[in-house]
Structure 1
């Protein structure tokens, strides 16, 4: 069953409170329909967060202003009103993505894995059988960006990046479907999740059966 789309969009944009986010994380681990919908929304949200400053030299487009206004409205509301506004927020985010990353040129540049690592980032590397992985955790204001480069996972697996907190909480930071080329050559997935940067103790890659394929202490 597909979960409320507004909640999925709010989760992707980091607007759920801690309890709501944990509940939805648990639901995503068991519902493939919602997980696929969330993946699409998360890609949009990550594209917006990753846009370089030079994109805005001429000022934000009208759709970006719409997103800002909608975000402010969501934060100011509560209960049912907030849930209704989340639907508008998801639509606004999609509009911004079209306006800012149309054609993929800007998105490709912004998500280039060769981008310089930010100050305060922590990078770890490790192996588990044939799997080779490196993960970079970059702190933000109450949340983290995560970039994982992975090789050796069998093609066809649906994988999820899981950020583990000091108290054992688990937060989904991104997901992807492993292609045959990815299995051999590897690739990089970038995502983000709401967790205090100081509380991050590990980054794991988990398949759709719930098995942790590799876990790296941070």
Structure 2
């Protein structure tokens, strides 16, 4: 099967994430574009976490031949020189959107896995390569690009529904829990927003979300136009 085009390209923006969140990118923004990866694959959905002077960058690696995604780890030193890459999470179903974050004294990953029919929360038992499934998050259907955050003493989860293409690209659902591992309660008003231009969590984050996580996408275009995505060094 020929590789006709890259759907995504990952880059590192040399700017504080607060500035990017407030003002976006301009023509003078310095971006280090990463290698496109092995043949017949592409990388997407980057989440970065600094540890001991090393940038750990988690990405979806999608293989055109198998139509299957796994979670790869790319590591860079302080000068963003490439150190190496390896696969750190593989399941029988497609994985993407490796949302990696710190909370409650641990490091967590909440990847998209809507083809599995559920959402699985993983905890790093041996960061950055050892991940253990610790909770299933039952919601009102399989979730796309689920994005957790803490607000006013409660955990919230934004996500899109996977029931149709329009819902995947243009719906915003919400759920809440007192603890990250549950019990999760879906919002009675779901979907709380229908807007193909900006409802899906992977398209845009508010400033407070951008501060909390070292990741963003360029404007609201990538999901519709399949443009490049980026992370911001912070």
TM-score, reference length from structure 1? 0.28
Higher percent of residues as strand:
2
TM-score, reference length from structure 2? 0.27
Higher percent of residues as helix:
1
